[in-house]
Structures are given as structure tokens and as C-alpha cells.
């Protein structure tokens, strides 16, 4: 009896330990902490409800958008399943519905066909933030042709890129011939479409040499954005730190003292390399996005349940 009791105690202890640990290969389904390091959780999406990403959080970029990338963005390639958001890159062969149209940028309107589709989800016009801790747990595809990203752009309608600022919490693409992790901050130079960059890049072999299974695991990308600086981390390893004293446009505008919105996307081709020989589909999996703020931060957006039907709220909250 005594031995059974001891065994039971050991089993309970082990179970608790198990719960306390995160499986690096799976989404972390434990509830988001409401507070960390004195900062409160102000917004999050755990992507735990199967189906389309919540429409009160996300909208979509559509078509051929930027950088001569190969993919046609469409909502169909974004879905939630098994407690994570999947942005799926697919190889297709179909006519470009906007072939020749001036709705597309010059480089894209002459593409007769769409060879790849993918997804880009954005919080533009729905949620934006100034300062805070941004924590994103994700597993990225690293096959040739992949260009996954977690990034932010300024919301000021009077300003364009790059005057509005850009923060790349995570990008993965081929830099100087090596597949690399990038973490960048960009702002204005006074010249149209020309940015000043505080760039960081590190060959992914730096990570995979230490852990050969690195690419099959989820990792945590984190931004600490304060009135003083932007710090970008990967699994608690500081990749890049940018002082906000540097990030002043020539006209005096300081983009990182203004609100920014979030983009999650899987681009294909361009900086990502040629995906011709890559096996598709490719999946970029995002377990959660969590934003924490202290008194310095601001957050503008709808409350999580605003605009949703009672049924939707019930479906959410009984899940």
C-alpha cells in the first residue's frame, strides 16, 4: 500500500513536470500567462479554434504584392488546425485573373500564369500597438524558395514606406549565398522607397549545427520594444538591438514612437531562392502571437469578442 502511494506521488509529480514542459514539436496549448515581468497581456491570438483565422483580428493581402515574389496571396492558404495557424505555400498552374491589369505592379501584370499561391495575414485597420513585448511561437519552412516572416509596419496614413518604419522580428531567406535568419529595423532616408537599415543576419547553420533538428521545432521570436530601443530575440538569444535615438527620419519623424500593425506571411521565390525543385506544399506554422504592455505602451483595436455573435463567443469559450 505504501509503495503504491509512493508510486502515485511519483506519477503525479512526473505528470506535473510533463505539463510544465513544452513539446518543441507541438503547439503549446497552455493558456497564455496574463502577466509577465510586470507587463499585462493586452492582445493575443492562440489560433486554437479550427477554421479561418478570426476575422476580428486578421485580414488578408491578396494577389501579387511586392518584391517580385512568385506567390499569389489568397485567403484560402491560411487556416487554423491542431492549435496553430498554417500559412501554406502551394504549387499551382492557373491563369492570372489580373493579367495585363493596372491593378498589379508592373513586374506582375505581365505574368500570364500563377505558379504558386500562399498567404499573408495582417492586423491592419484592426489592431495596432506602440511599445510592448511581442512573443510569437512558430515553426518555419526552410526549403529552398521559402521566405517566411513576422514583421510590422507603421499605420500613419500620411506616411509611406519606409518613412512609417518597418520592424522584421523574423525573416528567413538566402543572404550572401547562405540560408539565414534575419532581424531588421528600417526607417526613412528622405529618399522615396529608400530605407536606412539596422540589419542583422545569421546563417541558419549557426542554429542547426547546435541542434540538427532545429528546423523541425517550434521557436520563440520575441521583440522588446520600449521608448528607448527595439530588441529582437530568438529563443532568448539577442539578435539585434536598435536604439530609438538612431531611428529618426531626416524630417524629424520618429516612426517607432508611433503605432504599428503586424504581418505574418510566407513569401516564395525572390530573396527566398528558386523553388522550382522544392516539394510542395510548404507549411509555415504559428502557434500563437502574444502582446504584453506596461504603462508606456498603447494598444488600439477591437476587443476580442466585439462584433462577434453570441454563438461565436459561445463556440470560442466552450472550446
Q: How far is the CB of 288 from Ca ion (least distance, A)?
A: 5
Count of residues in the chain: 319
Residues binding Ca ion: what is the number (CB under 5 A)?
A: 7
Between 201 and 218, whose beta carbon lies closer to Ca ion? 218
Choice among 46, 61, 69, 166 that is catalytic: 166
Of residues 46, 171, 259, 285, which has the active-site annotation? 171
88 preceded by a cis bond (ω within 30 of 0): no
Out of 22, 67, 83, 283, point to the residue binding Ca ion (CB under 5 A). 83
53 contacts Ca ion (rule: CB under 5 A): no
Q: Is 187 in the site for Ca ion (CB under 5 A)?
A: no
- Give the one residue of 287, 289, 291, 301 binding Ca ion; rule: CB under 5 A: 287
Q: Is position 288 an interface residue for Ca ion (rule: CB under 5 A)?
A: yes
Q: Are 170 and 185 in contact (CB under 8 A)?
A: no
β-partners of residue 168 are 151, 184
Neighbours of 263 (CB within 10 A): 19
Stretch that binds Ca ion, among 35-43, 147-155, 160-168, 286-294 (CB under 5 A): 286-294
22 lies in the site for Ca ion, by CB under 5 A:
no
Rounded to the nearest whole angstrom, what is the least distance from the CB of residue 289 to Ca ion in the complex? 9
Residue closer to Ca ion, measured from CB, 138 or 174: 138
CA 46 to CA 130: how far, in whole Å?
A: 21
The Cα–Cα gap between 266 and 149 comes to 6
The distance of closest approach from Cβ of residue 82 to Ca ion in the complex, given in angstroms and rounded to an integer, is 9
Segment contacting Ca ion (CB under 5 A): 76-84, 181-189, 230-238, 289-297?
Answer: 76-84
d(C-alpha 157, C-alpha 153), whole Å: 11
Given the DSSP bridges, would you call strands 71-73 and 113-118 parallel, antiparallel or unpaired?
A: parallel
With respect to Ca ion, which residue has the nearer C-beta, 47 or 58?
Answer: 47
| Smallest separation, CB 28 to Ca ion (Å) | 7
Q: Report if residue 154 touches Ca ion, rule: CB under 5 A.
A: no
Q: Which residues pair with 260 in a beta bridge?
A: 129, 154
Q: Which stretch binds Ca ion (CB under 5 A): 61-69, 101-109, 141-149, 282-290?
A: 282-290
Integer angstrom CA distances of residue 174 from 144, 147, 177, 204: 9, 9, 6, 10
CA 27, distance to chain mean position in Å, is: 15
* Minimum gap (Å) between residue 48 Cβ and Ca ion: 5
Query: Integer distance in angstroms from the first to the last C-alpha of the chain?
Result: 39
For residue 11, which phi and psi values (nearest 5 degrees)? -65, -40
Three-class secondary structure of residue 46 per DSSP: coil
Closest to 292 in 3D by CA, of 30, 56, 34 = 34
Complex with Ca ion: residue 53 or 179, whichever CB lies closer: 53
**Piece of the chain touching Ca ion by CB under 5 A; list 55-63, 79-87, 200-208, 292-300:** 79-87
Preceding amide of 104 cis, omega within 30: no
Mark 29-48 with x for binding to Ca ion (rule: CB under 5 A) and - for no binding.
-----------------xxx
Is residue 166 annotated as a catalytic residue, yes or no?
yes
Q: Give the footprint of Ca ion on this chain (CB under 5 A).
A: 27, 46-48, 83, 287-288
Which amino acids are annotated catalytic?
166, 171
Amino acid at each position: 500500500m505504501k509503495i503504491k502511494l509512493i508510486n502515485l506521488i511519483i506519477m503525479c509529480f512526473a505528470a506535473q513536470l510533463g505539463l510544465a514542459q513544452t513539446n518543441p514539436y507541438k503547439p503549446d496549448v497552455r493558456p497564455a500567462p496574463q502577466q509577465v515581468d510586470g507587463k499585462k497581456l493586452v492582445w493575443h491570438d492562440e489560433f486554437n479554434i479550427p477554421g479561418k483565422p478570426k476575422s476580428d483580428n486578421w485580414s488578408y493581402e491578396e494577389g501579387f504584392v511586392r518584391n517580385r515574389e512568385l506567390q499569389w496571396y489568397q485567403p484560402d492558404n491560411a487556416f487554423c488546425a491542431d492549435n496553430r495557424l498554417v500559412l501554406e505555400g502551394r504549387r499551382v498552374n492557373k491563369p492570372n485573373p489580373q493579367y495585363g491589369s493596372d491593378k498589379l505592379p508592373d513586374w506582375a501584370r505581365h505574368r500570364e500564369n500563377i505558379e504558386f499561391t500562399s498567404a499573408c495575414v495582417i492586423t491592419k485597420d484592426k489592431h495596432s500597438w506602440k511599445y510592448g513585448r511581442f512573443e510569437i511561437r512558430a515553426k518555419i519552412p526552410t526549403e529552398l524558395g521559402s521566405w517566411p516572416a513576422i514583421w510590422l509596419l507603421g499605420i500613419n496614413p500620411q506616411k509611406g514606406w519606409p518613412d512609417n518604419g518597418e520592424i522584421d522580428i523574423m525573416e528567413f531567406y538566402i543572404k550572401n549565398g547562405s540560408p539565414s535568419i534575419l532581424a531588421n529595423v528600417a526607417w526613412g532616408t528622405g529618399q522615396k522607397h529608400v530605407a536606412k537599415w539596422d540589419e542583422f543576419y545569421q546563417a541558419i547553420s549557426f542554429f542547426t549545427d547546435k541542434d540538427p533538428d532545429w528546423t523541425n521545432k517550434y521557436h520563440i521570436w520575441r521583440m522588446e520594444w520600449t521608448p528607448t530601443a527595439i530588441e529582437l530575440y530568438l529563443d532568448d538569444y539577442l539578435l539585434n538591438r536598435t536604439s530609438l535615438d538612431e531611428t529618426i527620419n531626416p524630417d524629424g519623424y520618429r516612426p517607432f514612437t508611433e503605432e504599428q500593425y503586424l504581418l505574418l506571411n510566407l513569401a516564395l521565390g525572390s530573396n527566398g531562392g528558386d523553388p522550382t525543385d522544392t516539394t510542395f506544399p510548404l507549411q509555415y506554422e504559428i502557434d500563437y502571437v502574444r502582446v504584453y504592455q506596461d504603462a508606456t505602451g498603447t494598444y488600439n483595436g477591437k476587443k476580442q469578442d466585439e462584433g462577434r455573435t453570441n454563438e461565436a463567443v459561445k463556440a470560442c469559450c466552450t472550446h
